Amino acid sequence: MTDALGDLLRILDLERLGEDTFLAGSLPKVGDRVFGGQVLAQSLVAAARTVDPDRLAHSVHGYFLRPGLISEPITFAVERLRDGRSFSARRTHALQNGAPILSMITSFQLEQEGFEHADAAPTGVPGPDEVPSVLESLERVDPRIASFWTRSSPFDMRHVDGSLYLQPATAAADRQRVWMRALGPVPDDQSLHRALLAYACDHVMLEPVLRRHGASWATPGLSAASLDHAMWWHRDVHVDEWLLYVQAAPGAQSGRGLGVAQVFTQDGVLVASIAQEGMLRLPS
């Protein structure tokens, strides 16, 4: 396990202040704002700790309300909305200085029998062993940035069509495929794996919008922020195994863009679907 993955697992081990109240810190990063995926993952862990462990999260709907500060601890207040025979619902507020930075509702379910089908994974996608890691790509361009990512990233990300960290894609497209895997083993706790998927996906959810418009994260003057986030887990997920994110950008308007993704195992099994709208602005 890398130090970065260990640090991530530690901040997901929330301190319990009361029956439904928790406290945690944040991971360091460039700038003073908390990474949105971190708050999503922590909020999911907080909600899961108030539910029967036999019930797993199957859907999340959340809104990012304010930027969080890395220097301030985050309090997670969970409201128990419902506990039915099969489903439980929780609302989680992530708070700093008494104000919510994220508000999220999570639905949990006991495993049950029912209809079973899933979209098939796309064919002809190069495997993760055939695609360079983003760390290797950055090393060739800027060793300093690569060094930071090596120390701070708990996940190995491999963009099939090239990453957008330092420059735009060679051709504009509204589709993106990314392999991702944790940089080490993760405890066999399905609630934790689902929270880590929420953390990981926030790195790439808005990238199809950038790719469609010939932009990158290094585009001068780019202002970006996640606005809302929705996830559905269809089956158990293991983030310490390779997962393929098949992404698209259905639309962009009014300084906002929508990114969607289906997440498949390396064997082609659909395990999750994700949607995120974000603010993406460029200087006029």
Residue-level pLDDT at 174 = 85
pLDDT bin (cut points 50, 70, 90) of residue 142 is low
Residue-level pLDDT at 153 = 83
DSSP-assigned letters across all residues of the chain: --HHHHHHHHHTSPEEEETTEEEE-----SSSBPPHHHHHHHHHHHHHTTS-TTEEEEEEEEEE-SPPBTTS-EEEEEEEEEE-SSEEEEEEEEEETTEEEEEEEEEEEE--------PPPPSSPPPGGGS--HHHHHHHH-HHHHHHHHHH-SEEEEETT---SSS--SS--SEEEEEEEESS---S-HHHHHHHHHHHHTTTTTHHHHHHTT--TTSTT-EEEEEEEEEEE-S---TTS-EEEEEEEEEEETTEEEEEEEEEETTS-EEEEEEEEEEEE---
The yes-or-no verdict on residue 277 having pLDDT over 70 is: yes
Residue-level pLDDT at 256 = 96
Catalytic residue from among 133, 156, 176, 202: 202
pLDDT bin (cut points 50, 70, 90) of residue 61 is very high
Using one digit for the tens of pLDDT, what is the confidence trace for 203-228?
999 999 999 999 988 899 999 999 99
Residue-level pLDDT at 138 = 67
The yes-or-no verdict on residue 150 having pLDDT over 60 is: no
The yes-or-no verdict on residue 47 having pLDDT over 90 is: yes
Per cent of the chain over pLDDT 70 is 94
Higher pLDDT, 32 or 94: 94
Verify whether residue 226 is a known catalytic residue.
yes
Residue-level pLDDT at 172 = 87
Catalytic residue from among 107, 163, 226, 247: 226
- Going by C-alpha positions, the residue among 26, 48, 30 that lies closest to residue 39 is 26
Evaluate whether the domain defined by 3-110+128-281 bears CATH number 2.40.160.210: yes
Sketch the domain layout of the chain as residue ranges: 3-110+128-281
Mean residue pLDDT across the chain: 92
Residue-level pLDDT at 1 = 60
Verify whether residue 236 is a known catalytic residue.
no
CA 202, CA 140: separation in Å to the nearest integer?
25
Residue-level pLDDT at 218 = 85
Verify whether residue 38 is a known catalytic residue.
no
pLDDT bin (cut points 50, 70, 90) of residue 144 is low
Residue-level pLDDT at 147 = 54
Using one digit for the tens of pLDDT, what is the confidence trace for 220-267?
999 999 999 999 999 999 999 999 999 999 999 999 999 999 999 999
